[in-house]
Chains A and B, each alone.
Chain A
């Protein structure tokens, strides 16, 4: 069955710490991958996406993600987090190519000043 797994449910970091949030998917074949963020009281918004090409994808606000096909992973990274990065982060996959997104359960990130 198709699935997206985010194993970290809640991550707590101090400002300036490095961040890595895990995401694994269980799709065969071509898949488009996304990271979305939901800041407190705000809408879901796109951080970055991978369709093809360079497996290292750079997004907004200093975030990046690496697609590792052999590991079925698409982990999100940021070298130095800020208090304003406190939010819920969702990994999503689309095998249809038509934006029919399948989301993971999300990871809540709390950054302590």
Chain B
């Protein structure tokens, strides 16, 4: 079975631009979460979606938004990019919301903002 997949693998943008990152969860998984991992730090929770609805939000500005589609895939959008948005963006999926269900992480999208 395929794991969590993310696209693109790498992305270079300039300040002020917009970016869309994509995530396909493991087949059958209905919950998708997004994390930002800055170099040298642990992942930081951005959003969680379940059944197309936002179920959790971390401490990120409104420039960050996301959505989940009927097939449970998800997009993370970041507007007005700043240098500090350079990071590895991780997507994780799980069967359902409850913490008893293991989260499986994807390989991430490396975003560089110049």
Residues of A near any B CB (own CB < 8 A): 4, 6, 32, 36, 43-46, 49, 51, 90, 92, 94, 96-106
Contact = CB atoms under 8 A, between A and B. Distances in A.
Contact of B45 (A97, A100, A105): A100
Contacts, number: 67
B23 to A, nearest CB: 13
B40 A99 contact: no
Q: What range describes how many residues of B lie at the interface? A: 20 to 34
B40 A98 contact: no
A103 B44 contact: yes
Interface of B: 3-4, 31, 33, 35, 40-45, 48, 55-56, 58, 90, 92, 94, 97-108
A32 B94 CA distance: 16
A36 B31 CA distance: 19
Contact of A103 (B4, B43, B55, B94): B43
